[in-house]
Amino acid sequence: MPKISEFANRLLRWHKDIDRNLPWKEDRDPYKTWLSEIIMQQTRIVQGTPYYLKFVEAYPTIVDLANAPSDDVMKLWQGLGYYSRARNLHHAAKTVRDDFEGVFPTDYKDILSLKGVGKYTAAAIASFAYDQEYAVVDGNVIRVLSRYFGITDAVDNSATLKLIDDKAAKLIEGSDPAAYNQAIMDFGATYCTPKSPDCTSCIFADVCKAYDKGLVDEIPYKAKKIKKRTRHLHYLIVSDAGGNTIIRHRQEKDIWQSLYDYPCMEMESDKQLNQESIGAYLSSSFGMEIIEIKFPIKTYKHILTHQTLYGQFYRIKVNHIQKLTTPYLGVKMSEVESYALPVLLTKHLKDKEEITLFD
């Protein structure tokens, strides 16, 4: 067995005193490990933990999750964002049920084959659930190793990532894989932070090349800048005398695929729509005419990694909501919140000031 590296030794000694008690670490159930890893992707632990607990309560086993209706899974995920994770989660659960007889796979390549599972997540499951020697490499680990080794090449370059992967695989050799992986992730998340880390008291201060060369603030270096787009979503809340409204089941491959929202006119500008354009849209799309319209008093904003969304909500009374075709549904206004909704809608529905004004 390979001798444990000095890097791993220091890391494990540091982690022994600060290891966090998290609910998915209570046992080594691969289903719970996988579930926690998917939920915690791009999510802070304090935000993700309640969702993890809700999922385990609703779906105690991966087969329970596989058998759940898609709408129920999406509703339970509501508010956590990055909804492709929920869709992939459900798809992967079905794969385990159908292709692995309901038993979570133990082979790394089989784990990696599940939808939504990349190298990082597969390594986490293999090490945490099965004690297999696969090193996790996420953003925290990339930052720690880039600084430790003084890697100044762009980490969004495939060759640099391959170099870091190779170093990570070497450092984990001979250690307790689960303990090592948890330690290096926690070290990056809580100590070797993106901004203003306390390098003077760091356990690697005497050997960290970035600290030695004064490059901590420059490493890790990324060559590509994230391009952001701005979207202006004008939602039409249509209602008739019977308290019915229209919602849409989003089918297109977008950030909110499989969720429900109101009919929407996406425009290039945040300039409010006029009654003529709204009337033309409702007439051509649903054969309806406007009786009364209440225009928005505010704009709701939601920021994502690659886009910023602005939403405005128009309340429109019509005579009668006629029979609708997919992807549109006619539901009672009181039932809307029982569906899985995007964050802009939940923000609006919680805003008593605007709701009261329109009622």
**Cis before residue 327, ω within 30 degrees of 0?**
yes
Token pair of 206 as six digits: 């005497």
- Shortest CA distance to 204 belongs to which of 151, 148, 150? 148
Any idea of the CA torsion for 126, 129, 133, 136, to the nearest 10 degrees?
Answer: 60
The CA distances from residue 330 to 73, 104, 240, 242, in Å, are 22, 40, 11, 11
Q: Is 284 left (phi over 0), alpha (psi -120 to 50) or beta?
A: alpha
> What does DSSP say about strands 307-318 and 229-239: parallel, antiparallel, or unpaired?
parallel
Report DSSP state, residue 155: T
Candidates 220, 106, 112, 118; CA nearest to 160 is: 220
Residue 228 CA, distance from chain mean position = 17
d(CA 251, CA 236): 18
**Quick one: tokens of 4?**
């444990």
Report which DSSP code applies to 284: H
The DSSP 8-state label assigned to residue 30 in this structure reads H
CA separation for the pair 314, 345 (Å, rounded): 12
Q: How far is CA 101 from the centre of its chain?
A: 28
Q: Known catalytic residues?
A: 37
Beta bridge partner(s), residue 290:
318
- Which phi and psi (to 5°) does residue 263 adopt? -50, 140
Per-position DSSP letters for 207-247, written without gaps between them: T-HHHHTT-TTT-S---PPPP-EEEEEEEEEEE-TTSEEEE
